[in-house]
Structure 1
Amino acid sequence: MHNEPLAYRMRPRNIDEVAGQQEIIGEKTALYRMIKNGHVPSMLLYGEPGIGKTSLAYAIAGTSNLPFIALNATVSGKKDVEQVVAESRITGKVLLFLDEIHRFNKLQQDTLLPHVESGAIVLIGATTENPYHDVNPAIRSRCGEIRQLTRLEPEDLLGVLQRAVKDEERGLGKMTIAITDEQLMRIAEGVNGDARKALTVLESVISASDETDGTTIVEDWLIDNLLGRIGLFGDKKGSHFYNLLSALQKSVRGSDVNAGIYYLAHLLEIGDLVAVSRRLLVMAYEDIGLASPEVGPHVLAATEAAVRLGMPEARIPLANAVIEMCLASKSNSAYQAFDAAAKAIHEGKTGDIPLHLRDAHYAGAVDLGHVGYQYPHDTPIGSFGGWVDQQYLPDKISGTEFYKPVIAGEEKKLAAIYERLKEFRKK
């Protein structure tokens, strides 16, 4: 009887047993050839839980035959690193796998630097967070490879599960198990690309199945029941959460209703309702803007309702908001105009406020020359309201245009008025 979990036992022993990740460690990659030829570069492996960061590190260790030490930064500290350094002085080059490397503070990471640089330690750091945000630049610069791993495809996971069922040494091969490839594929498709979860579900299914005449018989309902307990990956403070927010905004900006609803559902299953509502409100003004000005108030009402309702009812007004934004006419002209004006200010393109626009509500304003302002409301112009042709920008930037209309939705009307007023000024 094995004491270790099946997922632990079935870790690949060398890089030829790694499932998926062919673009990183496949036979035709430079990294595969380097390791096969005996050279292991220091590297950072980035990706979500269960997609093979730890397994890849163990596989590289198994192929390289270097002395291998594994640490987890959540429970290890400077003393543990010093012990690894001491080990390298005795055995020569050491391969150090440091899981959750982003948990090390700057001092702890700096302890590694001279030894990674000298080659005494080959570092494989693994992190679920973006290494460009959470790993010190000094460590990053000493890692020849920074690779983002991706979720495994169901076909890759099916191969992992089939090996686990047949493997007599590490897997379940000594048992007689009645399980079909279709049932294994159901597990593979239900764990969202997570090999660890796939093997854990398989082990749980086998443990919960009845045995008849020495054969363990797996039933579909057991698989469905256990898959229903599998949680979505997510951390509302982690990179994946912000990646989901980004994907939601870009899907809405691209008018893809189905993608927008999908990412909203994923976020609400794992995330922070307030953060999601805030992002939706930003999107209403950033991406929809003047083309559909009614959308902003609609989304504000929807997000306020969602926060007041809480989950699960909050999904209803937010789904309405996402679909409306996806299908609304879109414009980013307003905030682009603001950014252009701010850029001009930072570049020193400023000037004195025209005298006739300065505050004149005090004694002595006339003596300072704060006169000449014409009140637009006194001069109606058609159905537009009041308008007077007078200068508002400082002399140095007079005539500069920051606003560039987008000819979409309701903004077409605003653009027409804008162009008409420019014609009046020319006259």
Structure 2
Amino acid sequence: MKPLADRIRPKEIEDIVGQRHLIGENKILSRILKSGYITNMIFYGPPGVGKTTVANIVANKTNKKFYKINATNSSLEDVKKIIKDLDSLECINGILLYLDEIQNFNKKQQQSLLEFMENGKITLIASTTENPYHYIYKAILSRSTIFEFKSIQKRDIIQGIKRSISIIKKDLFDINIMFDENAIEYVASVSGGDLRRAINSVELCVYSTNPNENGEIVVDIEKAKECTQKNILNYDKSGDSHYDILSAFQKSIRGSDPDASIHYLARLIKAGDLISICRRLLVIASEDIGMAYPNAITIVKSCVDSANQLGFPEARIPLAQATLLLATYPKSNSAYIAIDKALYELDTIDVGQIPNHIKDAHYSGAKNLGRGVQYKYPHDYKNHYVQQQYLPDNIKDSIYYSPADNKMERNIESYLKFIREH
């Protein structure tokens, strides 16, 4: 018997759970199917959200010969076999090729399809869980339309679960199945937006439960917890999810939202990604808090050192402390802006030579070269300050540091103004 997830797979676009932004009334995929004009398409999104189901439905709406291969266990030879069939009577209307997990094909394997995509003999529908802009050959991207499939909402997962239960009831027509509503809610909650995973959990719950004395299979929330895994986060240290979560983490701290900051920290902790957390906290301390609270970097460094020494699970506590400190302190990116301005000038203009009077003069003959001559030692002057030129002539009027509007930098601005005017 096929797995329940395959038996429940919808045959019509209207029966698909979720993806209303693509297949709802008058949405783009629905319009494409109604028109009958099928173009090259790339389906991008997490597992278990309907990519294969939609591809199968699209295939059934065309008069093309349908081939399906998985790039994980296929090779260039498999593609060549399909290409050979193009001249057969079966393929007189062309081929619709569904290439699952296309990111596992290298550039040469992907290129082998280009000629036939261009002349229309092969219409490609490819699916991938990875960002297509990072993994798919640009020439294929330019000839395809990308559709992003999203994680399925809990309410839609519940709908899919109830449909799967009704199918199992038909299979076990002589046994009454009672699936508790709380159990359904729980399975939907821990499925991580993956309907296939939810359906597999339902199947395991039913078939691993013995009928009671009344001949009924009763699945309560305890049975559901026993038969389902904890929610699995979509996280790959080399993939999109890694950078998306880190981005959300930093932007939440920068936006002074302690709750969102802790949420994304929790995601990173669940993934066990201690190195990335520590690196990001350290850079945030200077990039986003910086001169508004210069001691932030010191405190964060101490928290990071503690976390690395402790390891998980205890490391979560100093990491949370550092995160909350950064999220709730005043923000300033003046240090970040200052250094980037200076680096930009180095890349784009001739900044000129260091003024002679501040060049190194600690060697014999330095004065003969004009080094250190006319240098004014600030500590010999009132307020330990004296006006003199430090920047090269070509950029002597450049300003890199502009104090931000926070208590610490207002004090800095006042101090600089005071010593320059007195």
Give me the TM-score of the superposition, normalised by structure 1: 0.91
* Residue of structure 2 equivalent to 1:404: 402
User: Is the 2:97–2:125 Cα contact (8 Å) retained in structure 1?
Assistant: yes
SS at match of 2:370: coil
Cα distance, 1:126 vs structure 2: 1.6
SS at match of 2:367: coil
Task: Tell which deviates more after alignment, 243-252 or 9-18.
Answer: 9-18
Aligned residues: 417
* Residue of structure 2 equivalent to 1:264: 265
- Flag the 1:251–1:113 CA change in 2: closer, same or farther, 3 A: same
- Flag the 1:59–1:301 CA change in 2: closer, same or farther, 3 A: farther
Cα distance, 1:65 vs structure 2: 5.2
CA distance in 2, matches of 1:159, 1:113: 40
CA distance in 1, matches of 2:191, 2:348: 52
* Residue of structure 2 equivalent to 1:63: 61
* Residue of structure 1 equivalent to 2:346: 345
CA distance in 1, matches of 2:230, 2:178: 23
User: Is the 2:17–2:156 Cα contact (8 Å) retained in structure 1?
Assistant: yes
Cα distance, 1:380 vs structure 2: 4.0
User: Is the 1:95–1:121 Cα contact (8 Å) retained in structure 2?
Assistant: yes
* Residue of structure 2 equivalent to 1:154: 154
* Residue of structure 1 equivalent to 2:14: 16
Cα distance, 1:250 vs structure 2: 0.9
Cα distance, 1:315 vs structure 2: 0.7
List runs of 5+ in structure 2 lacking aligned partners: none
Corresponding position: 1:84 with 2:108: no
CA distance in 1, matches of 2:117, 2:171: 36
- Flag the 1:217–1:396 CA change in 2: closer, same or farther, 3 A: same
Cα distance, 1:173 vs structure 2: 7.0
Corresponding position: 1:379 with 2:388: no
Cα distance, 1:249 vs structure 2: 0.8
- Equivalent AA in structure 2 for residue 400 of structure 1: S
Task: Tell which deviates more after alignment, 148-157 or 268-277.
Answer: 268-277
- Flag the 1:168–1:191 CA change in 2: closer, same or farther, 3 A: closer
- Flag the 1:175–1:61 CA change in 2: closer, same or farther, 3 A: farther
SS at match of 1:95: strand
CA distance in 2, matches of 1:167, 1:65: 30
User: Is the 2:201–2:227 Cα contact (8 Å) retained in structure 1?
Assistant: yes
Cα distance, 1:175 vs structure 2: 5.2
List runs of 5+ in structure 1 lacking aligned partners: none
SS at match of 2:99: strand
- Equivalent AA in structure 1 for residue 396 of structure 2: S
* Residue of structure 2 equivalent to 1:195: 195
- Equivalent AA in structure 2 for residue 193 of structure 1: G
CA distance in 2, matches of 1:174, 1:7: 22
Cα distance, 1:243 vs structure 2: 0.9
CA distance in 2, matches of 1:197, 1:314: 31
Corresponding position: 1:138 with 2:139: yes
- Flag the 1:108–1:149 CA change in 2: closer, same or farther, 3 A: same
* Residue of structure 2 equivalent to 1:72: 70
- Equivalent AA in structure 2 for residue 378 of structure 1: D
Corresponding position: 1:293 with 2:294: yes
Aligned 1:107-186 pairs, distance under 5 A: 107-143=108-144, 145-167=145-167, 176-186=176-186
- Flag the 1:361–1:400 CA change in 2: closer, same or farther, 3 A: same
CA distance in 2, matches of 1:82, 1:55: 25
CA distance in 2, matches of 1:247, 1:93: 45
CA distance in 2, matches of 1:380, 1:299: 37
CA distance in 2, matches of 1:203, 1:296: 51
Task: Tell which deviates more after alignment, 151-160 or 119-128.
Answer: 119-128
Task: Tell which deviates more after alignment, 239-248 or 67-76.
Answer: 67-76
Corresponding position: 1:237 with 2:238: yes
User: Is the 1:100–1:128 Cα contact (8 Å) retained in structure 2?
Assistant: yes
What's the CA shift string for 1:170-220, capped at 9, x where partnerless? Answer: 977775311244432332122121111111111111122231333211122
SS at match of 1:70: strand
Cα distance, 1:167 vs structure 2: 2.9
Cα distance, 1:168 vs structure 2: 6.5
SS at match of 1:391: coil
CA distance in 2, matches of 1:416, 1:21: 57
Runs of 4+ in 1 over 4 A off after TM superposition: 168-175
- Equivalent AA in structure 1 for residue 357 of structure 2: H
CA distance in 2, matches of 1:367, 1:328: 52
* Residue of structure 2 equivalent to 1:41: 39
- Flag the 1:45–1:27 CA change in 2: closer, same or farther, 3 A: same
Identity, % of aligned positions: 39
What's the CA shift string for 1:132-161, capped at 9, x where partnerless? Answer: 122221111111x11222111111111111
- Equivalent AA in structure 1 for residue 129 of structure 2: T
User: Is the 2:246–2:280 Cα contact (8 Å) retained in structure 1?
Assistant: yes
SS at match of 1:401: coil
SS at match of 1:241: helix
* Residue of structure 2 equivalent to 1:225: 226
What's the CA shift string for 1:64-109, capped at 9, x where partnerless? Answer: 3543222222211211111222233321322222222122111111
Cα distance, 1:254 vs structure 2: 1.0
User: Is the 1:15–1:63 Cα contact (8 Å) retained in structure 2?
Assistant: no
